[in-house]
């Protein structure tokens, strides 16, 4: 079991923030609707591929009504290269229809209402709230955040909800979005799942999982 290093959180996060000062979202979007759709598409898909798809998609479907009335088979073809396109298309259309019937055609701006949308869990809801509305409710826990939180000794949990609670106890609320993006960037660039680059890691001296 990886040692508990929660007492080193501030030091580790401080170093990582200096390493990744620019934590702007990598998904391209112009409004909360585009952000919601892009985030749904990003499941098990790279941001680069999602951006390639949405560059065309958002010209074809520019309003919530466009998604709500979309032909599901045609939408599946439009998003095919993001993977899991059957489920993603179903979630996008279902969410758009629910937004029209229950939320005046708008993307909800509360955690409670976002979680009512098909296929939207806390990770997606946190992303939409933080990046779409500037509301910090919690922290988006994806596979990178999960893995790095465990490897750095911030949590020993495996459930995303419990990891989120552990991280919320460590970080200031205003820093939660930055923490998520910082861990994601470090996970993509250095602490890679199959081949972690411990030799060049800026927190190798503090990391309980360092192989150096």
Catalytically annotated residues: 123, 142
Cα–Cα nearest to 182, from 14, 8, 2 = 14
- Distance, in Å, from the CA atom of 212 to the CA atom of 206, rounded to the nearest integer, reads 11
Scan for tokens 């995303």, then name that residue: 160
Residue 132 CB coordination number (10 Å) = 20
145 and 184 Cβ atoms separated by less than 8 Å: yes
Residues listed for the chain = 212
Q: How far from chain centre, in Å, is Cα 30?
A: 17
The DSSP letter of residue 116 is T
Q: Cα torsion for 38, 44, 48, 52, to the nearest 10°?
A: -60
Rg (CA), the chain: 18
Angle at the Cα of 124 (from 79 to 118), degrees rounded to 5? 70
- Distance, in Å, from the CA atom of 86 to the CA atom of 181, rounded to the nearest integer, reads 28
- Distance, in Å, from the CA atom of 178 to the CA atom of 191, rounded to the nearest integer, reads 17
């Amino acid at each position: 079991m990886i040692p508990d290093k929660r007492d080193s959180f501030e030091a580790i996060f401080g170093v990582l923030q200096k390493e990744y000062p620019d934590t702007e979202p990598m998904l391209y979007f112009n409004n909360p609707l585009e952000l919601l759709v892009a985030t749904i598409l990003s499941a098990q898909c790279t941001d680069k591929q999602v951006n390639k798809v949405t560059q065309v998609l958002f010209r074809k479907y520019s309003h919530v009504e466009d998604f709500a009335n979309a032909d599901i088979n045609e939408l599946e073809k439009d998003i095919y290269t993001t993977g899991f396109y059957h489920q993603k298309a179903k979630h996008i259309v279902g969410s758009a229809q629910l937004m029209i019937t229950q939320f005046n055609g708008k993307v909800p701006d509360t955690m409670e209402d976002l979680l009512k949308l098909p296929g939207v869990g806390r990770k997606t809801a946190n992303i939409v709230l933080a990046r779409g509305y500037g509301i910090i409710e919690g922290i988006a826990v994806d596979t990178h955040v999960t893995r790095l939180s465990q490897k750095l000794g911030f949590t020993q949990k495996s459930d995303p909800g419990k990891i989120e609670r552990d991280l919320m106890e460590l970080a200031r609320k205003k820093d939660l979005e930055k923490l998520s993006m910082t861990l994601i960037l470090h996970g993509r660039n250095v602490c890679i799942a199959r081949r972690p680059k411990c030799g060049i890691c800026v927190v190798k001296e503090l990391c309980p999982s360092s192989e150096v």
